[in-house]
Structure formats: structure tokens, C-alpha cells
Structure 1
Amino acid sequence: MEITTHKIICTEKTFNISEVIRQKRLMAYFQPIMSVTGRKILGLEGLIRGIIPGSTQIIPPKLLFDAAAKVGLTTPLDRACRDAVLTAFRDYHQTNRDLLLFLNLDTAIIDEVGGSNYLWEQVNSSGISPKNIVIEINESKAMDAQGLTQFVTTYKNKGFLIALDDVGAGFSNMDRIAGLKPDIVKIDRSIIADIDRIYHKQEVFKSLVNLTNKIGALIVAEGVETRTEAIQVLKLGGQVIQGFYFAKPSDDFVLKAELIAKTALVVDNYKALLLQELEDYNQKCLAYTQTVNGMIKALAVVDHPNEFDNQLLQCLILTEAVDCAYVLDESGIQCSDTIGAKNMGACEKLVFHSAKMGVDHSIKNFYYNLIKRKQDTYISEPYVSMATGNLCITYSRVFRLAAKKYILCVDFLETQQPLPVSP
């Protein structure tokens, strides 16, 4: 099908969807999915645009599928779209036999057609091996959970790969993800957008990486639009990226060398960021150590542990970086109050309460790693303090008083400010 390069986007429903399907007025677009650490194009996602019969006007996918749904033609349109994508992918397949085609399937039609072999027959007649086909499904749109599981099992047994799309958006069911055991999990743009700046999105992404690792799946970050987002994905454990940062969907996609150059740029920037973060972390730890050393020096000269509170208070008056501090005995029991120079009582949420003297901390990492693993110092990952509700890290250090062993725990405020990435 020859289409002129001059295209106008159709913004109104001024087309006959039956004729679009009958005349196969459908054009395949492709967007690359990049293995950043592998510095290669892992695959292409096949997308579709309609063309109004007798014109060059492009029909956006939402208008196309909305029109089909209104007149009950979703399944014929879905099949026609896959035909167009499979046909257009053949040339890329001939060039690179390892290239994957990410093929979208409207999961809602599984409820309608059940165990139909139509997709299998389509791929078989295309000459493309099932091992090169990734079937993208959105599990939240399938009402028949048993039918979806049967479909996934059947096609995995035929050699196809299964990807769950838009994970993290709307009502994605984490239990169903674990149950379906997909080969690939695609994280939705709603999680990726501004992930370099928004801390809670980073934590959600890390959790999804952990889940996919446990079920043996590969994670793909969708909708990456900036280099800083790409670097953050890499930092959080994602290695495969799709999005406008690398390329927008196109009907004349070429396996361009500049795409590989962009992966190298992201990796190089990430390496530079790691080195800068390591240097900053070392400087921060040095400052932490100096503060803790000063506090231990003050604690080690008291006559009795009941003087710990006053000494901690005097120390914390002199620093802005500390959220709060307290002392444990060798068995992990808190033997001072939780002392905060400026932040204690600032949190008005009732869920946050500072630990009192006598509380048992023996199951906490900052105790266990020091006493059971016989470490001298422990620095935690950032977490929300149950004392104040602030994001902090705990620096714990063993010290002695009158031949007895104690543990000083200092919660330092953690700003989680990302390092800037040069454009």
C-alpha cells in the first residue's frame, strides 16, 4: 500500500471504520525498545495508525479503536492491525533475526474469542518465528481471569513471549502478575514521569524491579522522555527502555546507529553520576562520622548512663543535620530517651511517636549488624523515621562506658536531592 508522505492528522470521527478495515487502510508504526546496558535495539513495538479511505489523513489509534468498539468491530480491527504490523516487520526480521516484535493484543477480545488460534495462524503465515514475538497484554482489561491464564499458558507453550503492559497504571493486579509469570513487565509512563525527581516513584519502581526479578521477568521502562529519567531507571535496576528519548513511533523507522550512541551516552552519564554520588556519599559519611565522634566523646565521660539525655541534648543543639539521637545497651534496650534538638514534636501525625527509654530495638538492623555481625559502625538506607516522620538515615556506633558496651544511634536528616545531570 503506497501512501504519500504528506499526512494530516484526523481529529474528528469523519470516517467509515468498516471501510478502513475492509480496504486495509492501516499503517504500521514502530518504536524501538533499547537494551541500554547491552547497547543494542532489543525489539520494536508495533503500533498502528488508520488512514481515511480516499485520502492521506491519519486516524489516531484512539479514534480508530473507539470507532470500532462503537459498532462491534474491535476483533476484526485488532486482527487487521496485527496483519499490518507483521507484514511491515518482515524486513526488520530479515535484517536482524534476533530482533523482537512487541505485538499488542486487545486483551478484552480474549473474553470474546476464547481459545481461538487466529493469532497463532497469523504469525505462522507471516514467516516470523514465535520466539521473535512478544504478545503485549493489559491484564486489567480481561474480565475472564481463567481465560487469560489459559491464553498465556497456551501461547507460552507455542514459544511466544508474554509481556504485561501498563503495569503500575490504574488497577494493575499484582497477584495476577505473579500468577501469569510473564516474560516481560512494562512499567507505565505514570511511574516513569519525573522519576529522577520524585522519591516515591523511585521506591515503587524498585519494588516492581524486585517483583519481576523474583518471577524471572525482564522489566521495560515505558515512556522515558529525558536523559535524566533514563539514567534514574538504570540506577534503580532497569536496563531496557522505551520512549521518546530514544525515538518516537514512526512508519519509516530505520535501525539507526545514533540510537546505539544514545545508549552509550546514558551509560557514560550513569557512570559519571555513580562516581559523583560515591564522592558525595564519602564526604557525607565523613561529616556524619565527625558528628558521631563528637557525641561519643561527650557520652564517654559521664559518670552514669542516666546522664546520656543531657549530653545528647547539648550535642544536638550544635547541629542542624541530626533529626534525633538515642542510646541502646548491649542487649538492644533503649537506655536514654529519644532526644531531638529541633525536630521532635514537629510532626503532628499521631502515627509517629518517638521511642521511649526501655524500648527493645534488638531486631533492628542498626543493632543486629553491630552486635551479631560484630561491626563497629552501621549506616542504614534512607527511611521514614517513626519518631518524627522525616526521611532520615541511622548511623549507629558502639562505644564503651565503665567497661560496658553501648550503642549510639543518630538519625541524620536525608534530603534525597538528586544530583544534576548536565544536558
Structure 2
Amino acid sequence: MDTKKEGVSLNINNIIEQKSVKLVFQPVVSVIKKSVIGLEALFTGSLDDNGKFINKDYLLTYASKEGEAIELDRLYREKALGSFVNVYKDNKEALLFIDINISIIDKYIGSKILLNVVNEYKIEPKNIVLEIVAEKIDDIEAMQKFINFYRSRGFLIALKDLGAGFANLDMISYVEPDIIKINSVITKEISYNYYKQEIFKSLINLSKKVGALVVTEEIETEAEAMVVMELGADMIQGSVFREAINIENVNLSEITEKTKQLSIGYKDYMIEEINAKEKAHEDYDNIINNIIDKLVKENKKNYDNTIDKIVEDYSILECVYILDNDGYQVTDTATRCKNMLSQKALIFQPAKKGTNHALKKYYYFPKSMHLNKYVTEPYVSLATGNLCITISAYFKNTSGEDYILCVDFNPDYINI
């Protein structure tokens, strides 16, 4: 049936009969292994009767109206498998990643058409990754039936686009994926965005706990690639290695060489990161030692005045306060952050003299583990609402009494 709109002359039946859908392929690589793991087949669209390119979304919308969405969807996978055969013949370990849009196939589950096509092309099911596209899913049971059937035949199952749209965390429990693909909503600009880094780390930890490997999608820069690898990504996909291209132009040797080059860069990057962290901790130690040198010479009655001056002397400090051996705060909190937004002031307030910190990590870890010093992970300070790390260190005053110096470092100084 013809559809005409905005100069488009489209016959969905002709596209299906002539198998004229357009696909491109993008590599999925492991920098750690210095190898290409596989290729994802991306359905881009087709040409209309006038030779004008029509994108996938436009096509699927009209195919749905014509009742042909399932045929178009199946054609994409058939063409993906047929295109992959030549790569597979010479690379028996290569994986093919193909989309499974549950909202389209949920009424046709049980047809075994995909399995039949895979068998027809003599591709091992273990080389096929079925990417569950988590758009609106009305029938969870049908989706799980599909997944269980194909997993039992040896196919790998991936959950695509985690972090975007409908791909919410509850989908992990329904899909039980072998691979989780994290969307660029999370990874874009991750090289300098602390919040995205923390979200990404949480997703990595979750993936490891459920036994899934992680692929990061749409990585565009080497900086993004370095950070996602450092944070635990297993595989990377994106233009940093290769734009999606026609299968005829896929050169696995060329992509492998690019991967090897990036692995060398990653090694240099990690050396720089380690050196930077060592330098930062040296600076922390020097500052803490300088502060303690001043405190041990002071009478405890003068601690408040002393730490007020210390905060003014060091711009990298956010808060300074002192605890006794039982975790009680013996000074007020000296801080540079005195112009807090009014809406924050109700929930973020510097602790006052007499506050008990016995349940805080910077107190109970060094206390219980007999450590002279402890450094926390970055966290949001209850004193200021800003990101900080706290370093706590024991010292003795002139009377031989034990105290704990606590210093919150300004987030701008933290190498994250």
C-alpha cells in the first residue's frame, strides 16, 4: 500500500518484497583484550520509490499503520544475519548484536522464525546477542517466554539502552541479561561529570553482582573511553573506534589496530592517574601534618580560634573540626562556606560543638581498626551540601590527651 506525505512515495510491501532495508554495522571492542568482540547491526531505513532515503522511525511508523511492522522488523534481522555470514566464516568468535523490539514481536512470540533463519545461515546461536530494546512493554510474560526460549538454545541476551527512556532498572530483573548496554545519556561527557561517573559506577557494580558484562554505547572521545574503562566497562562501542558503516567496508584488522593503540593510551592514562592520586595524597598529608603541628602546641581552649585561621589559610579546605576520643565534637565547625542558598540551609548545616560523630566512617573506622589516619570516599557533606572527602587523623595535645582532627577538602581539589 502506498503512503504519500511531504514528497515521500512509500510502498512498505515493495520494501519487504525487495528486501531493500539499509543496515550499517558498528564494532564492539574490548580494549583490555585488544580485540574486536563483535558487530552491532543497525537498521537505518530504506529508499522510497523516488530514491529518497527514509529513516527507520518513519518506516516503522508507517509499517505499523499498514500492519507490516513485524515483517519489516524480521527483514532487518534476516538481512543482518545474511550480511554477518562472511565475517563469521573467517571469525568464528565474532558476535553479532541484533535488536529485538518486544513491543513489535510480543504478539508473534513462539514462531521460531529467528531460530530458523540463524540455522539457515549456519551461524552458531552462541555467536548471536539478542538486544532487548526496552520500549513500552505490555506483556512481560511474553517477553520472558521469548528470552527463555532463545537462551535455552544458546543465544546471548543483552539489555539495551540502560539509563535512557523505558530501560529502567526493573528491566534487569525481568530480562536477567548476559550483557548490559549503558546508553550515552549516562556516558556522554562522563570524563568530567562527577555525577555521571557515580551513576555509571553504580550500574557497573549492579551489573557485576547479577553476572552481566557491560558495553558502553556511543563513546565518541578517547577521554570518555578512558574513564569508562577505568570505572569498569568490559566493552566499548562508538565512533571513537569506528563510525557505523556498510558491512562491505568493515575491516576488523584496522579496528583491532585502533584498539591496540587505545590500549597503549589507556596504560599511559592509568599511570598518570596513579601519579596524580599519589601527589594528591602527599599534599593531603602535608596539610594534615601542618595543621596538627599547630594544634599540638595550642591549649585546647584555643582550638576554635586556631582552626578558624587554618580554614582561611588554606583555600582548598571546606571544613575543619575536632573530635574527642569518644567521637564528640569539641569545637564548632570552621568553614569557608558561609553564604549557603536559603533552601539548602535547612538541610545542610555545619555540626556544632557537642555533636556526636561516633557513627561516621571517619570516626569508627580508624577507631576500630587502630588507624592513625583515615580517608573517606567522596560524599555530600551535611555541613555544606557540597561534594567532599574527609580526612581524619589522631593527635595528642600538650596534656597527652587524644583528639581527632577532621578536615573536609573542597571538591575542586579532589582528583576524581
Q: Equivalent residue for 1:319?
A: 314
1:418 positional shift? 7.5
TM-score norm. by structure 1 comes to 0.90
Contact 1:110–1:142, Cα closer than 8 Å, also in 2? no
1:286-331 Cα shifts (integer Å, max 9, x gaps): 2222222222122223333x43212211222211111011111222
1:211 aligns with 2:199: no
Q: Equivalent residue for 1:5?
A: none
SS at match of 1:112: coil
1:284-323 superposed matches below 5 A:
284-304=280-300, 306-323=301-318
Q: State the one-letter code of the partner of 1:262.
A: K
Mark the CA change 1:11 to 1:90 in structure 2 (over 3 Å): closer, same or farther: farther
1:222 aligns with 2:224: no
Q: Equivalent residue for 2:278?
A: 282
Contact 2:160–2:167, Cα closer than 8 Å, also in 1? no
1:385 positional shift? 1.3
Mark the CA change 1:171 to 1:62 in structure 2 (over 3 Å): closer, same or farther: closer
Q: Equivalent residue for 1:406?
A: 403
Q: Quick one: distance in 2 between partners of 1:64 and 1:356?
A: 64
Contact 2:131–2:157, Cα closer than 8 Å, also in 1? yes
1:249 aligns with 2:218: no
1:140 positional shift? 3.5
* Count of paired positions: 408
1:344 aligns with 2:338: yes
Q: Equivalent residue for 1:154?
A: 149
Q: State the one-letter code of the partner of 1:372.
A: S
Equivalent residue in structure 1 for 2:196, among 180, 184, 201:
201
Q: Equivalent residue for 2:354?
A: 358
SS at match of 2:202: helix
Q: Equivalent residue for 2:412?
A: 415
Mark the CA change 1:416 to 1:100 in structure 2 (over 3 Å): closer, same or farther: farther
Q: Quick one: distance in 2 between partners of 1:52 and 1:282?
A: 57
Mark the CA change 1:414 to 1:157 in structure 2 (over 3 Å): closer, same or farther: same
Q: Equivalent residue for 1:272?
A: 268
SS at match of 1:415: helix
Q: Quick one: distance in 1 between partners of 2:272 and 2:53?
A: 47
Q: Quick one: distance in 2 between partners of 1:150 and 1:333?
A: 58
Contact 1:28–1:88, Cα closer than 8 Å, also in 2? no
More displaced 10-residue stretch of structure 1: 232-241 or 209-218? 232-241
Q: Quick one: distance in 1 between partners of 2:57 and 2:48?
A: 18
Contact 2:366–2:374, Cα closer than 8 Å, also in 1? yes
Q: State the one-letter code of the partner of 1:303.
A: N
SS at match of 2:157: strand
Q: State the one-letter code of the partner of 2:234.
A: Q
1:377 aligns with 2:382: no
Mark the CA change 1:218 to 1:191 in structure 2 (over 3 Å): closer, same or farther: same
1:261 positional shift? 2.3
Equivalent residue in structure 1 for 2:392, among 369, 391, 396:
396
Q: Equivalent residue for 2:116?
A: 121
1:33 positional shift? 0.6
1:202 positional shift? 1.1
1:53 positional shift? 6.6
1:168 positional shift? 0.3
Q: State the one-letter code of the partner of 1:393.
A: I
1:188 positional shift? 0.8
Q: Quick one: distance in 2 between partners of 1:110 and 1:116?
A: 10
SS at match of 1:309: helix
Name structure 1 gaps, 5 residues minimum. Answer: 1-9
More displaced 10-residue stretch of structure 1: 21-30 or 33-42? 21-30
Name structure 2 gaps, 5 residues minimum. Answer: none
Mark the CA change 1:11 to 1:136 in structure 2 (over 3 Å): closer, same or farther: farther
Q: Quick one: distance in 2 between partners of 1:110 and 1:21?
A: 17
Q: Equivalent residue for 1:170?
A: 165
TM-score norm. by structure 2 comes to 0.92
Q: Quick one: distance in 2 between partners of 1:12 and 1:102?
A: 34
Q: State the one-letter code of the partner of 2:168.
A: N
1:55 positional shift? 6.7
Q: Quick one: distance in 2 between partners of 1:231 and 1:416?
A: 21
1:362 positional shift? 2.1
Q: State the one-letter code of the partner of 2:389.
A: I
Q: Quick one: distance in 1 between partners of 2:269 and 2:153?
A: 43
Mark the CA change 1:354 to 1:131 in structure 2 (over 3 Å): closer, same or farther: same
Q: Quick one: distance in 2 between partners of 1:49 and 1:256?
A: 22
Contact 1:347–1:388, Cα closer than 8 Å, also in 2? no
1:54-93 superposed matches below 5 A:
57-93=52-88
More displaced 10-residue stretch of structure 1: 96-105 or 386-395? 386-395
